[in-house]
Amino acid sequence: MKPESTDIALRAYIPPNKTRKESPDIFCEERPVIVFDTETTEDEYQYLRFGSCGIWISGHLHRFVLFYNPTLPERDIEALREYAASQNADGIGIEVMSAHDFIDRIFYPWVIDTQALCVGFNLAFDLSRLAIRHGYGRGTRRN
C-alpha cells in the first residue's frame, strides 16, 4: 500500500537571538495590555456586529467588555447581555456596552491616555471596524 500525500500547514518557532538588546519598556509588567477582537457581518461590507475586550494589568484580568454595533437587532444585544450575566471572567463581571461607549469610555482612555499595549490577532482590520466618525480633510489634506 502506497502512502497518500497530504498537505499540512505548520507554525514554526524560532528562538530569539540572545545577543540582541531588548528594550525594557516593551517587557515592563506594569504596562497595561488591552486585547480585543471583533466579529463582523458575513457580507462584503463586514460591518461590526460585536466585539470583546480584556484589559490586563500586571498579568491579571482587570476588566472585560463586550461591545456591539448600535444597529444590531435588540434580540442580539439581549443575547450578549444574557451571555455576560451567565459568565464570570476570572472573578470579573463582563460589561456590555455600545461600540460608541466602548471607544469613548474604554478604548481611547486606555490606549491613548494610559498608553496600554493594544493587542489583536488581525489588528488593522479590527481597528478599522471601530471607526465611528469621519470628516473631510482640512488644509493640505483636502481633495
Query: How do strand 48-57 and strand 60-68 relate by DSSP bridges?
Result: antiparallel
Are 26 and 110 within 8 A, CB to CB? no
- Given this model, what pLDDT does residue 31 score? 87
- Given this model, what pLDDT does residue 89 score? 67
- Given this model, what pLDDT does residue 131 score? 87
Are 111 and 34 within 8 A, CB to CB? yes
- Given this model, what pLDDT does residue 121 score? 87
- Given this model, what pLDDT does residue 95 score? 96
- Tracing cell 456590555 back to the chain, one arrives at 96
- Mean pLDDT, each 10-residue run in order, the chain (143 residues): 68 57 50 94 94 93 95 96 87 93 96 94 92 74 53
User: Could you please report the per-residue DSSP string of the chain?
Assistant: -PPPP---------PPPTTSPPPTTTT-TTS-EEEEEEEE-SSTT--EEEEEEEEEETTEEEEEEEEE-TTS-HHHHHHHHHHHHH--BTTBPEEEEEHHHIIIIIIHIIIIIS-PEEE-TTHHHHHHHT--------GGG--
Among candidate residues 118, 126, 120, 119, the one with its CA nearest the CA of residue 99:
126
